[in-house]
Structure 1
Amino acid sequence: MKILKYNINRLVALLLVVSTVVSCSEDFLNEPVPTDQVSPDVIFGSRAGADAFISGIMRNFRGQFLRDDSAGVNSIYYARTVKGNDIIQGQTWFLFDYANENREPTYRRTRFTWNYCYYMINQANNLINGALASQDLSDIDKKEVVGQGRAIRAFFYFQLAMEFQHTYTYDSTLPAPPIYLELSLEGKPMSTIDEMYQLIIEDLTYATENLGEDRLAKSYINRNAAYGILTRVYQTTHNWAGVEESARRAYGGGSPESVLSTDYDNGFNDISNIEWIWGSAQSLDQSNYYWGAPYSHADHTVLSYAGTYFNNDFVNLFSVSDIRNLFSNHYGVPADDFRHNVTSKFTFNFDSDHPIIRTAEMLLAEAEGKYHNGDQAGAHDILFALQSNRDPLAVKSTNTGEALLAEILVERRKELYAEIGVEWFDAKRYRKGITRTGNHRVLTPASLTPDDKRFILKVPQSELDANPNIDESVNQGR
């Protein structure tokens, strides 16, 4: 598997592509323009050239954009992770995210999330528009290249929508970050949440209709991965029929038992795992060094930050026989000490792969969709299929109504902890708070109320200074 990853990563070296960042942040507008440019005619003169461009984009999913806590997609997810109740972050990177106070216009979290997402959106727009203008790509190649570009663009607009405004069901007319579909050297005004989600869904619909199951490697987006992204979007908009269908298409259908593996406790850092639908593949020649959260924080057995611990109340949700119960009192401290529980779920290496979408998440999303669509029996069946795979002593649930939904959401937290910020994501889309309990270092001050302003990042000051179409008023009330 590492050999395959090495060969795929070598594609990146084939071409150097100029990227002009869409966001009006002065940090990027003042950046020197490189002279070793490769023209679009060369890049999009063949499918191999377009694939090399995509390889470069996917490399930026896992590179270091600013600092250790502001690297790539993993940093967005991990910042969400530490804002919840299940995970306790020690006094290291992500410290201010853990305290739920890293959201002011001049703070690094805000600047990183805005600028990184727009950087990736601009790369996606270059890919889409370059492929569409190509005279050399076949119609099939164009559709597949554009499909990947539109899925990438949708993925990052979705992150912006989640981070810089209330959730979709709160008020879809509220202002959202600007929308760019092509290169623009002038800043655009804010859009609305409704407009942004319309674009996201249109992009992902195109991707699911024009991509196949084949791809260069699991770090690239195929039809299954596009359906996985769409599932999360539909969960946010409460399109439950869409959730049920897209989740099933993401994992390929079939019985839940046939798509689950038994090596959950294998270090969680290998993209070849059959449950990984989409992930970021890492190789030693492009090491993620120490910015690869959660690995560099959650693994306490190697030289790393060792900064992640787990709330006793969360750990107590796991039965002794659950394969996901990988917690231990590594430091031999009393139960009220915030360091009481660490996990061996994540093995840190410089080439640890990162999961983005897994089959288990899609199964639980399908169960959630079935619940909302009135098929509680179907929801029970999927839920038990996963639970019995993880715990040989699991007993099928008899919960109904709100209790069944609560069980599904708890199972999501148990299955996906420290991966994608699932607790924060679910609380925000259901407009619920997150109350800190147990042995947290920072307890009550960091608890979140329903629709709390601290679920939202403010628009960066650098954008306000550079973009004449957005003024200071955008942050009033945030």
Structure 2
Amino acid sequence: MKKELTKIKLILYISFTCIWLTSCKKFIDIPPPSYQLGSDKVFTSDGTATSAVTGIYSEMMLNQNQFSNSAITLYSGLYADEMTYYSSSDRDEFINSSLSQSSHPFLSTAFWSPAYRYIYAANICIEKLENATGISPVLRNRLLGESKFIRAFCFFYLTELFDGVPLTVTSDYKNNQNLGRSPYTEVLDQVIADLKEAKNLLPEQYAGTERIRPNKWAAASLLARTYLYSGKWQEAKRETDEILNSNLYRLSPLLNNVFLKGSNETIWQLQPVNPNWNTWEGKEILFETTIVPPTFILRESLVHSFETGDKRKDSWIASRIYMDDNVYYPYKYKVYGNNAPVTENYVVFRLAEIYLIRAEAKLNLKDYPGASEDINLIRTRAGLQNVNIPDEQALWEALIAERRHELFAEWGHRFFDLKRWMMVDGVMKALKPSTWDSFRARWPIPYNQINTNSNLLQNPGY
């Protein structure tokens, strides 16, 4: 982390009204040239302050196969029981769940380092916005809420992948570079604190015509999920109730419309920033020509687990013949890109997950009829009949199945679910008997981070 924290500098590049975050030796310490604005000047007007926070979102979607730009979905999918890769590659360690601390720098370049860059940028924005006087109060609150939301978002995924991580909540890189790991529960406590503040600061309505800047309900969505992961059932239910009662969202009756940028089911999306491309996930998974070999494909055990008549299988899974093999792949995003109009943003939170969070919270609160009702809402949209749940165990099985089929190939849901339900060893040992061990539920801390920080301890087993 030392290398990352000493390199980062917040710079505003005034070009095509876009402002970017870049890396440098340290935060601005020389007079900015004509095309740059130092941080002391950034947070003195509505326009430049807005651009500073916008720059974090741009950075989050700028580089392919990194953290928030498809990597969490694709590589946790490989690591769990959702996906595999058609041919042997440097992804084999994810496919086989055989990562080691020294053999895969991708853990650092695609996950750890990008996440901490975004966190560090968010920390700078938080500190500057808290003391800003030249920004309108309403905008200041929204930007401060967005920055706290971004920080919480990054810490949530870091701790779900790696377990405890350094909790860097200031821009003091000299202090941060030697931080040890905070426990998982402490990180989630910080996530919850940030999200509660973000929820209070953010407006209910979106900042524009698209849902690409988080609002109050985006913060509530991640807060509900975090409460669920923490076993706080009443709190999770409360947050989902508030989201559903806002009446801003509805389940799209057409499954092919769920991942469009104008979907009313969307709570928060990330906007692609590379010219002429839609989502990187679409580009990575779909096929430009019929002669190109497939890449990330679905495991047949997932494909064949759908009930007969489940519309999600028809709408969200596609197949093709390649070298006499019938391969299946995720088809939630349907645009490959390459000069195509942008019709798909990258969906992070959507209403279906909120219903499933509430169903699980109700189940744990022994409200079995309420849990059944929420599960059946998702089943009805999928073209399936309502299920009458006779007992708690059957209800759990129905919930597990619906989360698997509704949220597959999205943001690591399956991998995280298996871990928190204490199912990961049973499922993964059966799938990968020669390589799986219990310690592999936590990814190893990247070796280059440990080498530069003696206080950063490795996860057991690696």
TM-score by shorter chain over 0.5: yes
Q: Which residue of 1 aligns with 2:66?
A: 70
**Correspondence list, 1:384-403, <5 A:** 384-391=376-383, 393-403=384-394
Which residue identity does 1:180 align to in structure 2? V
| Paired residues, number | 433
TM norm structure 2: 0.83
Sort the Cα spacing of 1:204 and 1:302 in 2 relative to 1 into closer, same or farther, 3 A: farther
SS at match of 1:79: helix
Q: Which residue of 1 aligns with 2:17?
A: 14
Cα deviation for residue 365 of structure 1 reads: 0.7
Match among 320, 332, 350 for residue 345 of structure 1: 332
Q: Is 1:462 aligned to 2:420, yes or no?
A: no
**Correspondence list, 1:48-59, <5 A:** 48-59=47-58
Sort the Cα spacing of 1:225 and 1:305 in 2 relative to 1 into closer, same or farther, 3 A: farther
Cα deviation for residue 75 of structure 1 reads: 0.6
Cα deviation for residue 55 of structure 1 reads: 1.4
Which residue identity does 1:104 align to in structure 2? Q
Sort the Cα spacing of 1:395 and 1:93 in 2 relative to 1 into closer, same or farther, 3 A: farther
Q: Which residue of 2 aligns with 1:249?
A: 242
Q: Deviations over 1:37-79 (max 9, x none)?
A: 3122432112222221121111122221xxx543634212221
CA RMSD of aligned residues (A): 3.3
Whether the 8 Å contact between 2:67 and 2:115 is mirrored in structure 1 is no
Sort the Cα spacing of 1:72 and 1:94 in 2 relative to 1 into closer, same or farther, 3 A: farther
Cα deviation for residue 93 of structure 1 reads: 6.7
Cα deviation for residue 222 of structure 1 reads: 0.8
Sort the Cα spacing of 1:342 and 1:244 in 2 relative to 1 into closer, same or farther, 3 A: same
Q: Is 1:86 aligned to 2:82, yes or no?
A: yes
Match among 386, 391, 403 for residue 412 of structure 1: 403
Match among 202, 210, 215 for residue 222 of structure 1: 215
Whether the 8 Å contact between 2:306 and 2:313 is mirrored in structure 1 is yes
Q: Is 1:110 aligned to 2:107, yes or no?
A: yes
Sort the Cα spacing of 1:224 and 1:63 in 2 relative to 1 into closer, same or farther, 3 A: same
Which residue identity does 1:48 align to in structure 2? G
CA distance in 1, matches of 2:15, 2:124: 16
Cα deviation for residue 16 of structure 1 reads: 4.2
Q: Which residue of 2 aligns with 1:331?
A: 321
Gaps of 5+ in 1: 1-9, 22-27, 166-174
**Correspondence list, 1:279-428, <5 A:** 279-282=269-272, 285=275, 287=277, 292-293=280-281, 295-300=282-287, 302=289, 306-326=294-314, 327=317, 329-331=319-321, 339-350=326-337, 351=342, 352-391=344-383, 393-428=384-419
Q: Which residue of 2 aligns with 1:200?
A: 191
SS at match of 1:62: helix
- Considering Cα pairs closer than 8 Å and 6+ residues apart, tell me whether 1 or 2 has the greater RCO: 1
SS at match of 1:306: coil
Comparing 416-425 with 246-255, greater Cα deviation is found at 246-255
CA distance in 2, matches of 1:140, 1:114: 33
Comparing 52-61 with 105-114, greater Cα deviation is found at 105-114
Q: Which residue of 1 aligns with 2:5?
A: none
Q: Is 1:96 aligned to 2:93, yes or no?
A: yes
CA distance in 2, matches of 1:288, 1:467: 38
CA distance in 2, matches of 1:77, 1:283: 19
CA distance in 1, matches of 2:184, 2:432: 32
Identity between Structure 1 and Structure 2 (%): 19
CA distance in 2, matches of 1:285, 1:309: 26
Which residue identity does 2:172 align to in structure 1? L
TM norm structure 1: 0.81
SS at match of 1:225: helix
SS at match of 1:445: coil
